Amino acid sequence: MTEENINNEEASFEDTDDALEVVEDELNDGEDEEVIEEDVEIEDDDNGITDEQLDEIADTAIAALKDVLKYFNVGEVTIDEYEGDEGELILDITGDDLAVLIGRHGRTLDALQFLISAITVRKIGYRYPVIIDVESYKNRQRQKLEALAVATAKRAVSQGRSVKMRPMTPYERRIIHVALRDDNRVDTASEGEGAARHVVVVPVQ
């Protein structure tokens, strides 16, 4: 589904499942998982982004998000814009009955993330981390993952061996890597392929 399709599609979906399928199809449409990971990769602080460019990125991403949300029966929503701890632009959607935008295990939200990132990159011509959230769902998940990362590092150090974490999405794995990057007791690495890809926490000898 191209940006033109989003803006010009005339078909109306009979239910939310149809809209969900459109977004999830985009996630699976020949794209490698690691490409999605690259979409949320945080750039260096000296990337030279000006306030004007950041405004352009935000306006472009918000416009794309509003276009996509037309396909979901979610009523009136508010899109709050703020900067994350790593310098990323976060767009948090709030409103009533937004569970459909999250989906099972955050699957639909991951698809929205990919789609809006792809449209934004195509429009502005360069990559900048834009995170789509729904009522701070990702923020809550991030806090849980950070706590899990710390607990796993403690376990790896106390047992003196590598600890393999459960399979995670690229976004989740990045949170683990960032949470432990300043912990000089351990190193982290991603291993495995596809849906089985996971983080391994290795104690430093």
* CATH number for position 92: 3.30.300.20
Position 47 scores a pLDDT of 54
pLDDT at 25: 54
Q: What is the DSSP string of 21-85?
A: HHHHHHHHSS--HHHHHHHTPPPPTTS---HHHHHHHHHHHHHHHHHHHTTS---SEEEEEEE-T
State the pLDDT at residue 101.
92
| Sign of the C-alpha dihedral computed for residues 140, 141, 146 and 151 taken in this order | positive
Check whether residue 44 and residue 128 sit in a common domain. Answer: yes
Within this chain, do residues 109 and 68 fall inside the same structural domain, yes or no?
yes
Same domain, 19 and 82: yes
Instruction: Give the chain's domain count.
Output: 2
Residue 169's nearest CA partner among 38, 37, 67 is 37
One domain for residues 128 and 172: no
Widest distance between CA atoms in the chain: 61
Q: What angle do CA 141, 114, 166 make, to 5 degrees?
A: 40
Pair 100, 33 in one domain: yes
State residue 51's pLDDT score. 86
Q: Is 102 found in the same domain as 19?
A: yes
Question: For residue 174, what is the domain's CATH number?
Answer: 3.30.1370.50
Are residues 120 and 22 part of one domain?
yes
- Asked if 43 and 72 sit in the same domain, the reply is yes
Question: Quick one: 33 and 47 in the same domain?
Answer: yes
| Residue 205 Cα to chain centre, angstroms | 33
The residue from 89, 108, 135 where one domain ends is 135
Nearest to 116 by CA among 65, 157, 163: 65
Q: Which residues does residue 94 pair with via DSSP β-bridges, in sequence order? A: 78
CA-atom Rg of the chain in angstroms: 18
Domain end point (choices 82, 117, 135): 135
Using the 3D structure, point to which of 99, 115, 135 is the last residue of a domain.
135
> Domain check: are 40 and 103 in the same one?
yes
- Walk along the chain (205 residues) in steps of 10 and give the mean pLDDT of each run: 37 42 49 38 52 92 92 88 87 91 87 91 91 92 96 97 94 93 96 94 93
Give the domain range for residue 156: 140-203
- Reported as half-sphere exposure (CB side, CA atoms, 13 A), residue 198 has a value of 11
Shared-domain flag, residues 61 and 160: no
| Co-location of 97 and 75 in the same domain | yes
Q: Given this model, what pLDDT does residue 45 score?
A: 41
